[in-house]
Structure 1
Amino acid sequence: MLVNKAYKFRLYPNKEQQILMNKTIGCSRFVFNHFLAKWNETYKETGKGLNYRSCSKQLPALKQEYEWLKEVDSIAIQSSVKHLSESFARFFNKQTNAPRFKSKRNPTQSYTTKHTNGNIAVVGNTIKLPKLGLVKFAKSREVDGRLLNATIRRHPSGKYFISILVETEVDSLPQTKQSTGVDVGIKAFATLSDGTTYKNPRCLRRLENKLEKEQRKLSRRYKQAKQDRKPLHEAKNYQKQRVKVARIHEKIKNVRTDYLHKVSTEIVKNHDIIGIEDLQVANMLKNKRLSKAISEVSWSEFRTMLEYKAKWYGKEVVAIAKNFPSSQLCSHCGYRHPDVKHLALRMWQCPSCHRAHDRDLNASKNIEVEAIRLLTVGTTGIA
């Protein structure tokens, strides 16, 4: 099966390459904002927006007006126009909100360049990129497949990364003839219907005290810079502390992402049918008491990983409706116990069959049964 797959590596550019990367990021942002303003203005005047072709035709004139746009990768500038067009397409399809202007104050800055005529290539422990030449990178594995594009990102910590998108062949994993239901939570990150439990790594809680301490330092140095009437980019102590804080945030994110990849891969490898809840995480985050704990476990990212890995490897992920009472139903006799709505009730006994239940394990069993039922309905048409 042909799939699009991304490889992420850390880049080690020299000073000149860093300067050119930063210029390309700035130029891509400028072009995106320029055409977004034109797009909005045209829509107000005519009731219709622009399109990719009309914006693309204006690029040569824009380069004549702003000659510094010629210094950077032309494909990267073209890609920013393409991204704007795609953003509007998603907006009109009611998938996302309207595109917004990009700010240089955003934590992560990036640009994308497409592969054409061998302008992107892996050469030993370096990667060839347009205008940059050969850039050293941490080659942790081989890049297999047809190169499509590359996205260069500058993180708040000052590190540079590249994501290489390729089209490659992925073989399906052997069928295990096993199914499972996955109940995600806060106390335990995930509970499977066979009793397997994955603990909550609590990535933020591990480093929370250190993060708070460093953020307080950052706040003091910010106030000092303001008292000294120094621009923040010239305040060396502030910038050093900002990088320290950014690196802690980056470590938290990396630990969490690594854990999610390991758990999702293990579940997909061991099961053919995977039932999950269709949780409305955005709405759940409105709960002030639980928002921090919910955002820390990244349920949405976990579901995304399960879905694309299952698609790659010939497995099936079935989303269960958000109104399905997985926790309230007795997995043995089907009795619905309304008191289980309260999250504090972790263990309960069914009033009908007197079976004792662990809340999470019982929910995962019900999710598995419902997933199989939905698949059967979809295959046979039986309601």
Structure 2
Amino acid sequence: MVRHTSFRFCLDPTVEQQVVLSRHAGAARFAFNQCLHTVKSALTARKTDASVVVPWSGFDLINHFNRWKKTEDAGRVFVVDQAGTVAVSVTGLVWRDRVSQQVFEEAAIDCGRALTGWAESRRGTRKGRRVGFPRFKKKTVAVRSFRLRNKHSRGKRPVIRVGGDDGPRSVTLPKVGTVKVHDDTRRLRRMLGTGSAKILFATLGQRGGRWWVTLNVEAADLHPGLHHQPRQTTDRGGWVGVDRGLSAFLVAATSDGCEVARISDPPKALAAGMRKQRRLARSVSRKMKGSNNRRHSAARLGRHHTRVANIRHHFLHQVSTELVKNHDRLVLEDLNTAGMLRNRCLARAISDAGWAELARMVSYKQAWHGGTVVLADRWFPSSQMCSRCDTRNRELTLADRVFRCGNGHELDRDHNAATNLAAWGEHHHHPQVREPEVRAPVINVRRREGAGPHICVGETGPDDAGTDTHAVLV
């Protein structure tokens, strides 16, 4: 079994390399807009001529853009000699050789995916909220990014490499060269050196004034010593219900009422930094549009948002890792987070909690360890039912932190809900299993330098921490 994971590192490019990275990001934006312009023009022409073919998939857009970039419509350079004769010297995009051609292809694929998502959403076959037709990308967008593929030729080194002759903290990219990395790359280099991982893609983006690289890796499965012990099909025990909330961020309990975890004081990064965020936002609004002062103020505001997101992700990684390592059967609520965000009184607190991100992390980490994560029915009244006598209190409100039933039982609201969720997992023979994410971030996966007497090349060691939280967080 293989896992699709990712490593994210902060880059330290030189001034010249920053120009090259910005050029690649601009080329990706240009290719996406050109592909979208081609589709919209073809759709308009098809209204009068039904024989017009609309390039819709990513491969069709790649072929069309590769033909278009060499034509006169993409650009021409005229040369005038001493006699005054004008001749065409270069046809097509003059700067197309200064960037990697993979940037154009990946941008065309992104445009094709956006069109497919809109079509599926319009037909009702796409999950989630309805999405609109793709729009053109602005040049002044806050996040600029592009993607590169890694080529593995037989007998040659991969195009995208980590470490090497230029130092362990470096990454080599096509058309960009070797860029220094701010973070430690030891764990990924161990995986690549033992053959237990292979880099598939590299996504580079600028966030918070810094350039980041995210390496999509196909890694080997965790060592069997890190997996949970398999259970019999007739075994219905071991379920742990996880209740997520705002007063108490998380409460985990078993079906017999034993509380195994409680987090009451999470780091509310957004609420703690709201005063600074307002001050930085006012500073941006007071600057003249298009000025350097406004650009610098917007950069400071972006760095603040990045710091808030990093604090939240680090905390969620810690919580999800502890749950997965200690429990092999977890029950989560199917919360309608998108609908809850419409409540203007609780939207900020719910966004700061990151309930959906926690569920995603628990899902893929539990899949790595061979555990099970089930999703309770959305309409299951876990908070309104008494975990002792199954009596339902329909008059319970959000302000009531103590659950009281008609039989005189008084329980903590969150503890009671977690107990009911655990009982739900035991009594349902065929629960709805939540599928893990395909491309999930890997956190501090360590690999041995070579194959030992009890360790095969391509798998982790028995003492390796598969989801430690003290590495670079994604």
Structure 1-normalised TM-score?
A: 0.90
Which letter maps to 1:120? I
Which deviates the most, 128-137 or 82-91? 82-91
Equivalent position of 1:279 in the other structure:
335
Which deviates the most, 253-262 or 60-69? 60-69
Work out the CA distance in 1 between the residues paired with 2:376 and 2:336: 12
Equivalent position of 2:244 in the other structure:
184
Which letter maps to 1:168? A
Equivalent position of 2:448 in the other structure:
none
Equivalent position of 1:175 in the other structure:
228
Equivalent position of 1:85 in the other structure:
112
Confirm whether residue 369 of structure 1 aligns to residue 434 of structure 2. Answer: no
Equivalent position of 1:197 in the other structure:
262
Which deviates the most, 11-20 or 50-59? 50-59
Equivalent position of 1:15 in the other structure:
15
Equivalent position of 1:105 in the other structure:
140
Shift of 1:48: 5.7
Contact residue 126 and residue 135 of structure 1 kept, 8 A: yes
2:283 is aligned, of 204, 210, 217, to: 217
SS at match of 1:153: strand
Work out the CA distance in 2 between the residues paired with 1:70 and 1:170: 40
Which deviates the most, 52-61 or 302-311? 52-61
Shift of 1:49: 5.2
2:273 is aligned, of 201, 207, 211, to: 207
Work out the CA distance in 1 between the residues paired with 2:37 and 2:300: 36
Equivalent position of 1:147 in the other structure:
199
Segments of structure 2 that go 5 or more residues without pairing to the other structure are: 75-92, 153-157, 192-196, 232-237, 433-474
Work out the CA distance in 1 between the residues paired with 2:40 and 2:377: 38
Deviations 1:271-296 (Å, cap 9, x if unpaired)?
A: 11111111111111111111111111
Number of aligned residue pairs: give it. Answer: 365
Equivalent position of 2:320 in the other structure:
264
Equivalent position of 1:241 in the other structure:
297
SS at match of 1:93: helix
1:351 is aligned, of 398, 406, 410, to: 406
Equivalent position of 1:129 in the other structure:
173
Work out the CA distance in 2 between the residues paired with 1:119 and 1:244: 35
2:98 is aligned, of 65, 71, 80, to: 71
**CA distance 1:188–1:23, shift in 2 (3 Å):** same
Work out the CA distance in 2 between the residues paired with 1:181 and 1:93: 34
Shift of 1:203: 0.8
Work out the CA distance in 2 between the residues paired with 1:22 and 1:9: 18
Shift of 1:378: 5.1
SS at match of 1:279: coil
Larger RCO: Structure 1 or Structure 2 (Cα < 8 Å, ≥ 6 residues apart)?
2
SS at match of 2:385: coil
Confirm whether residue 138 of structure 1 aligns to residue 182 of structure 2. Answer: yes
Contact residue 10 and residue 160 of structure 1 kept, 8 A: yes
Deviations 1:43-67 (Å, cap 9, x if unpaired)?
A: 4525965222322222333332222
Deviations 1:124-149 (Å, cap 9, x if unpaired)?
A: 21110011110000242421211101
Higher helix share: 1
Which deviates the most, 270-279 or 104-113? 104-113
Shift of 1:328: 0.2
Contact residue 335 and residue 350 of structure 1 kept, 8 A: yes
Equivalent position of 1:39 in the other structure:
39
Equivalent position of 1:158 in the other structure:
209
Deviations 1:75-104 (Å, cap 9, x if unpaired)?
A: 121111112222333333333624332223
Work out the CA distance in 2 between the residues paired with 1:372 and 1:63: 60
Identity %: 29
